[in-house]
Amino acid sequence: MSLDRKVALVTGGSRGIGRATALKLAEHCSHVAINYQGNQAAAEECLEMLKSKGVEAMAIKTDVSSPEGVREMIARLEKKWGGLRVLVNNAGIHRDGLALRMREEDWDRVLEVNLKGAFLCARAALRSMVRGGWGRIVNVSSVAGLAGNPGQINYCASKAGLLGMTRSLAREMARWNITVNAVAPGLIATDMTDKLADESLETLTSRIPMGRMGTPEEVAEVISFLASEAAGYVTGQVICVDGGMLS
């Protein structure tokens, strides 16, 4: 699954699935950048882990919902390393609440980061991919975007929107040898699940046929495949990494 000498960018890459994905891509790419917005310490830690794998790496602080910030981020990557070839849209937030009580600013902010941010990054990256005649975009959605989840109407809408964007963009970009796919993780052991009460976690886990949470590394393996040469005839697809939760 060689990605030798390819340049990759993982948004929201300092922790969880993003970090695991960046580290996995470092096994196949020669240059890996991570984007982060808040936790500089986590970003610097991830950066050192990437460099220890022998790749050139950088961490860029950017709000992916800012058009100007995204343009500057991609321009910085291209100036330093040349054309971007792999983009993993992983950056995401959640601001939970029942629909009847949800503030409009919480709806707007989640959609801005999770959906608009992915669009802005893809649009900026595609120019380089088209010039190079090769590219891979992987959007990190969620099973919540397929099944819904009470108290997360904004999050679920953003993740469902990513799926429509994935399928449409795949049709647009296929002629340039650019694939666009999505992964939909289920219950994954990350900072988000660490905040759940033990009782809630047990209830959620009981709904998974495999009887356990997934790991960020298991999601990263699928993303790495979709970003590779081996997935050259796979585009417009949504792959659930959920232990059978939606089966």
The whole-angstrom separation of Cα 127 and Cα 87 is 12
Identify the CA nearest to 52 among candidates 63, 42, 44. 44
Instruction: Give the amino acid at 135.
Output: G
The 10 Å CB-count burial string (b at 16+, else e) for 139-177 is: bbbbbbbbeeeeebbbbbbbbbbbbebbbebbeebeeee
Catalytic residue among 115, 155, 185, 214: 155
Letter for the amino acid at 236?
A: G
Whether 233 sits among the annotated catalytic residues: the reply is no
Residues annotated catalytic, as ranges: 155
